[in-house]
Copies of this chain bind each other. A is one copy, B any other.
Amino acid sequence: METLPPTLNLLFRSSLESAPSFRSPRVSLLRRFFIGCRFVASAAGGFCAGAEDSLLSFINGKMKATDVAHSIWKIVIRGGDTVVDATCGNGYDTIALLKLVADDSRRGCVHGLDIQSSALENTCYLLRESVAEKQRELVKLHLLCHSRMEDILPKDAAVRLIAFNLGYLPAGDKAIITKPHTTLFALQAASRIIASGGLISIVIYIGHPGGREELEAVLSFASSLAVEGWNCFKFETANRSTGPVLVFIIKK
């Protein structure tokens, strides 16, 4: 792991040994919970119409791709989980992840990676501005290519979610983009460390040169995963050739 610039030391780093022990897949539990919530809402005189709201909002162009990804994360991640933001960018995903893993147990952990120090500085700044210090302690930032994520995770880490936001750093140097071959290495690494029931979430921007090649690399990787072990799904606009694409990969 490369040494972080001093500004990044603003964030405390709790011991990786405090990462939570992994729990069993929770989808069926979520399902029961959802039914329970519907009942609660119904009993209180309402009907929880929200079940598909975010999906429709996305179809309707009223919700960004990253917001849809966040809304999926919400039901995959539980407080105390260990997750990875493979591409910190300006830190918005890092914060969204942090809010989901932070709970009273203080075992939650977000490993944030980026190959650009300016990205990690921006993430640091955003964390300082919008998150309490106690929560910030759960974030560990690493100036590292996402293809090397295994280098900074302990061998027994049970990683619940790994998030990729592929393209270039918004408002940064657009010549520096994630590249198909390193993204492919990163996805391979992610598939080795993601826990059973865990999610690899990928938002791919394809409007810039090289974007479509990266999408092809991601889809090639996803399509190579055996259906016995993985569920892979792709969402995309059908009448905008440069709209972002969402790919979700769940390890069974």
In the complex, how many angstroms separate the beta carbon of A242 from the nearest chain B beta carbon? 10
* Contact A37-B48, Cβ < 8 Å, known A227-B240, A238-B232, A239-B222: yes
In the complex, how many angstroms separate the beta carbon of A93 from the nearest chain B beta carbon? 16
- Taking the complex as formed, is A43 at the interface, i.e. its CB lies under 8 A from any CB of chain B? yes
In the complex, how many angstroms separate the beta carbon of A235 from the nearest chain B beta carbon? 5
A51: contacting residue among B50, B59, B60, CB under 8 A:
B50
Taken residue by residue from 21 to 54, chain A's Cβ proximity to chain B (1 for < 8 Å, 0 otherwise) reads as 0000001001101101110110111111111111
Which of A72-80, A131-139, A157-165 touches B?
A: A72-80
The residues of A with any CB-CB pair to B shorter than 8 Å are 27, 30-31, 33-34, 36-38, 40-41, 43-62, 71-72, 74-76, 219, 222-227, 230-241, 247-250
* In contact, B238 and A222 (Cβ under 8 angstroms): yes
* In contact, B52 and A72 (Cβ under 8 angstroms): yes
Contacts of A233 in B (CB 8 A): 58-59, 235-238
Contacts of A76 in B (CB 8 A): 56
Work out how many copies of this chain go into the complex: 2
* In contact, A37 and B27 (Cβ under 8 angstroms): no
19 A-B pairs within 8 Å (CB atoms) are namely A27-B57, A30-B56, A34-B49, A37-B48, A40-B45, A41-B46, A50-B50, A51-B54, A51-B71, A52-B55, A52-B71, A52-B72, A55-B55, A56-B76, A222-B238, A223-B238, A226-B239, A231-B237, A235-B235
* Contact A60-B27, Cβ < 8 Å, known A46-B40, A49-B75: yes
* In contact, A235 and B234 (Cβ under 8 angstroms): yes
In the complex, how many angstroms separate the beta carbon of A67 from the nearest chain B beta carbon? 11
* Ranked 4 nearest A-B pairs via Cβ: A232-B238, A40-B46, A222-B238, A232-B239
